[in-house]
Structure 1
């Protein structure tokens, strides 16, 4: 079983800094409403929890030169 590294820090209310072995990301947004994540690899994700067992997520990867 491989070992992984992932750590999340709350730096301000509604703002989290997420670290893993290869990159970092910044997540903004609250519990009620959309969350926006931007990664150091250029990935952008918008997600939202919907009522019940549903969730919505849209991910866009941007090319970094």
Structure 2
């Protein structure tokens, strides 16, 4: 049996930060259509709300077979979190 650990934080309407064992991702959208950006690629999920019917497509999955990408520089993570903090401050001020 596999153990899954995941936590999702709502940053703004239609914007979520997802944290799991495998890393961090960002989801944009809501009921009916969502785009998830992660290290695995971009996943687009469309659904008919309330029916349980959905479709999902992963773009960029072929990159896993290629040479590994260089690690993301630390400054890129710092800039991302500064932007998120500014958006949160703007929403609640």
* Alignment gaps of 5+ in structure 2: 70-93
Q: Relative to structure 1, is the Cα distance of residues 46 and 2 closer, same or farther in structure 2, using a 3 angstrom cutoff?
A: closer
Higher-Rg member (1/2): 2
Provide the alpha-carbon RMSD of the alignment. Answer: 2.0
* Alignment gaps of 5+ in structure 1: none
Higher helix share: 2
Higher strand share: 1
**Divergent runs of 4+, >3 A:** 1-4
Higher relative contact order (CA 8 A, sep 6+): 1
Tell me the matched-pair count.
63
**When the two structures are superposed, what TM-score results if normalisation uses the length of structure 1?**
0.76
